[in-house]
Amino acid sequence: MRSAALPVGVAALDGLVVNAVHAGPVLWGALAAAGALVLRRRQPELALAAGIPGLLLGHLAFAPLIALYFLAVHRRSAVPGAVGAVVVALAQFLPLPLGDVTLLRLDHDTVLDALDSCALGVGAFVLGRSSRQRRERLREITEGRERENRLLARHTLATERARLAREMHDVVAHKVSLISLQAGALQVTEPGASAVRETAGVIRRLSVDTLTELQHLVGVLRADGQADGELAPQPRLADLGRLVEESALPVELHLDDFGDLAGPLPEAVERAAYRTVQEALTNVRKHAPGASAQVRVGPAGGRLHVEVRNTAPDGSAGPPGLPAGGMGLVGLRERAALLGGSFTAAPLPGGGFLVRAAFPF
Burial 40-57 (b: 16+ CB within 10 A, else e): beebbbebbbbbbbbbbb
Do the domain assignments include residue 124? no
Q: Are strands 353-360 and 303-310 parallel, antiparallel or unpaired?
A: antiparallel
Do the domain assignments include residue 110? no
Instruction: Answer yes or no: do 185 and 278 share one domain.
Output: yes
Instruction: Answer yes or no: do 337 and 277 share one domain.
Output: yes
- Sequential DSSP letters for 198-219: HHHHHHHHHHHHHHHHHHHHHH
Q: What contacts 360, CB < 8 A, 6 or more positions away? A: 269, 302, 303, 339, 340, 341
Q: Name the 3-class secondary structure at 288.
A: coil
Instruction: Answer yes or no: do 80 and 203 share one domain.
Output: no
DSSP 8-state code for residue 97: S
Do the domain assignments include residue 141? no
pLDDT at 230: 44
CA 138 distance to own-chain centroid:
20
CATH number at residue 295: 3.30.565.10
Question: How would you write the pLDDT of the chain (361 residues) with one tens digit per residue?
Answer: 556 666 676 666 666 666 665 666 666 666 777 777 777 777 888 877 777 777 776 566 777 878 888 888 888 888 888 888 888 877 776 766 555 555 566 677 777 877 877 887 888 888 888 888 888 888 889 888 888 888 887 777 777 667 766 666 666 666 666 676 666 666 666 656 676 667 666 676 666 666 666 666 666 665 554 444 444 556 788 888 888 888 778 899 998 877 777 678 888 888 889 989 988 988 888 888 888 899 999 988 889 999 999 998 876 655 555 545 555 787 788 778 878 889 999 999 888 899 999 998 8
Q: What contacts 196, CB < 8 A, 6 or more positions away? A: 186, 190
pLDDT at 114: 75
- What is the pTM assigned to this prediction? 0.43
Q: Are strands 293-300 and 251-255 parallel, antiparallel or unpaired?
A: parallel
CA 62 distance to own-chain centroid:
47
**Full domain range(s) for residue 57:** 2-104
Instruction: Answer yes or no: do 241 and 344 share one domain.
Output: yes
